[in-house]
Structure 1
Amino acid sequence: PYTVPAELAEHLDFVGGLHRFPAERTAVSRAAEATKDVGAARAMFHLGVTPSVLRQRYNLTARDVGVLPNNSQACAQFLEQYFHQADLAEFMQLFGSSFAHRTQVDKVVGHQGHGKAGLEASLDVEYIMSTGANVSTWVFSNSGRHESQEPFLAWLLLLSNMSALPWVHSVSYGDDEDSLSLAYMERVNAEFMKAAARGLTILFASGDDGAGCRHVHSGNHTFRPSFPASSYYNIGGRASPYLAALSDNYWVVTNRIPLPWVSGTSASTPVVAGMLALINDRRLQRGLAPLGF
């Protein structure tokens, strides 16, 4: 609480800027004060997200890495996005000194373009291999388009026709749900159910606008969720996203250049996927099945 002189009180509604008073301070030595100021500056200035930041935030120690050869994880790439093995190697050299890791993707399924690396593709591969450290990693490179958008069905049919697959798949792509036909989405959903029956875990980026919004001239705006992130939802309501993780200001190496401030659910999706791959590793060590759907 605060007080003002009585002759002013009738002229005031409130005094602003006093919601939180500064904490009381006691005299300290100049050396201690200097150290305190440096700590405060570090707390205020954000240098970006790196694998070490993620591993500290989510309590991953140097021992939290994959150890089994039969464990695996994967990223799917679309829209002519490609990664470069050299970018991954440089990324791990810069940011992977505190944990055991791999510097190469073990298998690429599909065509890898020979042009410039895509920022999205670089982000996905580098961060699934940072949290899912030392886990065998595949990349599914999907060329072509479905109605100018990602050929999700072609990718899922490829998975359905492969006998051996990674247990966890991370996908940082999606389309506005209302831009796709109901028949197409139902067919894609059928393939998701097949994948779930096989014990696969598939994660999709939810999009960077939450539930999204479709503005219409009548003023009756509606939510505009992203598909396939909107698949398998609770019929009594929706939740977007189901899981959340750090997604802002990531460092990425693409075309041999370290770039800061890359953000979006495209970043958090492979991070969570890598964590699930580590959980699978622990389960497989104990003779248990992978997490699955």
Structure 2
Amino acid sequence: MAPRPGRVTPVPPGWTHAGRISPGHDLQLTFALRQRGTARLAQLVHAVSDPRSPRYGQHLSLEQLRDLIRPSSATLMTVLKWLQGHGVENCSSVTTLDFLECRMPASTAERLLPGAEFHRYVKGQRSLVRSPLPYAVPEELAEHVDFVGGLHRFPAERTAVSRAWARDAEPGRRRGGGAAFHLGVMPSVLRKRYNMTGGDVGLLPNNSQACAQFLEQYFHQADLAEFMQLFGSSFAHRSRVDRVVGHQGTGKAGLEASLDVEYIMSSGANISTWVFSNAGRHESQEPFLAWLLLLSNMSSLPWVHSVSYGDDEDSLSLAYLERVNVEFMKAAARGLTVLFASGDDGAGCRRVSGGNHTFRPSFPASR
């Protein structure tokens, strides 16, 4: 057996163990199949991105990308035979053929991946199924599978946005004896900071952008329209998202989702905007991985993607990091630009008990 990955992320604070799940509990696992042509892909990304290269701007279609990096026939046959040998038939692939999403009972998953043991964890109203133990794959599979998603990673947590500025802005409040003030950053503030005038808006019909939301963070079209009515009077803008990919909930709008949508449409004003909503509604699903699969399965996508999501880099396996980096190269080869927030805490810090504190980079912003 070949162990995968080498270490397991500890259960994050706030999550409570609620016991082992039943053998028949339905799981959804993602198998990242070994790709071909990744060295060639890296060279091609540099070529199409370098203005000095004769290949500059000659991006690949999704089908051309598939032909470059699709797993070998041996990999596809070996993995499918392994899954079918354990009775796993409910699988779907992506256009690039390098991911498989499969559903199976927990008992089947534990036989398929020796060492794995699936338990339920809860935090407030949220519930997840993860394995606290490392898994292994047969030696003959090690060269064909990069990693299996849906076992170990807990969703990244966002720090609550501080509202200290709102308290400071209350009438009569002073700081240091000076006049009252607040630190609200409205679209006009950002546009002024970046020297954008009323004419700096999208004008070409093929301009397009998107943001990605995770963990049942939703926006509301009505909130967006009201926001633009309040803050968009000085520039041409759109007041509706053109397309939502995924599940869009009807409950209370999320602060994170609203912030992302309203400000990308204020800075990238008058540009067609999509929202990718990756709720992570299945207990064993990893929403960030689900978003990457969407990119590998859609031939027509917005050109710019803004993502406010990240994990502590030291919590991730090397196999996962390397594979996600290849996913970003796939996007770049198609001409997509992907921007990641650097996090709420700057460089971040890992506090070591009784020792020296160290920097803690956030992935994927650290790439």
With structure 2 as the length reference, what TM-score do the two structures score?
Answer: 0.49
Q: Deviations over 1:227-253 (max 9, x none)?
A: 11112xxxxxxxxxxxxxxxxxxxxxx
Cα distance in 2 for partners of 1:146, 1:228 equals 23
Match of 2:279 among 125, 130, 143: 143
- Would you say 1:200 and 2:336 are equivalent positions? yes
Q: CA RMSD in A?
A: 2.3
Equivalences for 1:7-22 in 2 at 5 Å?
A: none
Tell me how far 1:198 sits from its aligned partner.
Answer: 1.1
| Residue identity opposite 1:92 in structure 2 | M
Residues 157 and 191, structure 1, Cα contact 8 Å, conserved in 2: no
Deviations 1:47-68 (A, max 9, x none): 6211112212211111111111
Give the SS at the match of 1:134.
coil
Counterpart Cα distance in 2 of 1:214 and 1:181: 17
Question: Does the CA-based 8 Å contact 1:213-1:224 persist in structure 2?
Answer: yes
Q: Within 5 A, what are the aligned runs for 1:4-43? A: none
| Cα separation, 2, equivalents of 1:58 and 1:147 | 42
Deviation at 1:218, TM superposition (A): 3.9
What is the DSSP-based 3-state SS (H/G/I as helix, E as strand, rest coil) of the residue aligned with 1:126?
helix
Alignment of 1:120-135 (within 5 A): 120-135=256-271
Distance 1:153 1:189 in 2: 12
Alpha-carbon distance in structure 1 between the residues aligned to 2:324 and 2:238? 33
- Higher percent of residues as helix: 1
Q: C-alpha displacement at 1:130, in angstroms?
A: 0.2
Matches within 5 A, 1:66-105: 66-105=202-241
> 1:193-232: CA deviations, max 9, x gaps?
101111111111111222211112240322111111112x
Deviations, residues 92-147 of structure 1 (Å, cap 9, x unaligned): 00001111100000000000011110000000000000010000000000121799
SS in 2 for 1:76: strand
Match of 1:214 in 2: 350
Match of 1:159 in 2: 295
* Other structure's SS at 1:178 match: helix
Cα separation, partners in 2 of 1:179 and 1:166, compared to 1, 3 Å? same
Contact 1:167 1:200 in 2 (8 A): yes
Structure 1 counterpart SS, 2:222: helix
Matched residue, 1:111: 247
Bigger mean CA offset, 59-68 vs 142-151: 142-151
Amino acid at match of 2:327: E
The one-letter amino acid of 1:117's match is A
2:319 is the counterpart of 1:188:
no
**What residue number does 2:131 align with?**
none
Change (3 A) 1:60 1:198: same
Contact 1:213 1:222 in 2 (8 A): yes
Partner of 1:179: 315
**Higher relative strand content:** 2
Instruction: Give the unaligned 5+ runs of structure 1.
Output: 1-40, 232-293
- Shift, 1:42, TM fit: 11
Query: Is the partner of 2:349 in helix, strand or coil?
Result: coil
Counterpart in the other structure of 1:58 = 194
Partner of 1:73, secondary structure, is strand
Q: Which moved more, 1:82-91 or 1:149-158?
A: 149-158
- CA displacement at 1:43 relative to structure 2: 9.3
Q: 1:49 aligns with which of 178, 182, 185?
A: 185
CA–CA separation in structure 2 for the residues paired with 1:81 and 1:199? 27
Q: Greater CA radius of gyration, 1 or 2?
A: 1
Q: For the Cα contact (< 8 Å) 1:78–1:150, is it kept in 2?
A: no
Structure with the greater relative contact order (CA < 8 A, sep ≥ 6): 1 or 2?
1
Question: CA distance change for structure 1 residues 147 and 181 in 2, over 3 Å: closer, same or farther?
Answer: farther
Change (3 A) 1:93 1:112: same
Alignment partners' CA distance in 1, 2:223 and 2:193: 25
Q: Distance in 2 between matches of 1:145 and 1:209?
A: 28
Deviation at 1:149, TM superposition (A): 8.9
1:79–1:150 CA contact under 8 A, matched in 2: no
Query: Residue 214 and residue 92 in structure 1: after superposition, are their counterparts in 2 closer, same or farther (change >3 A)?
Result: same
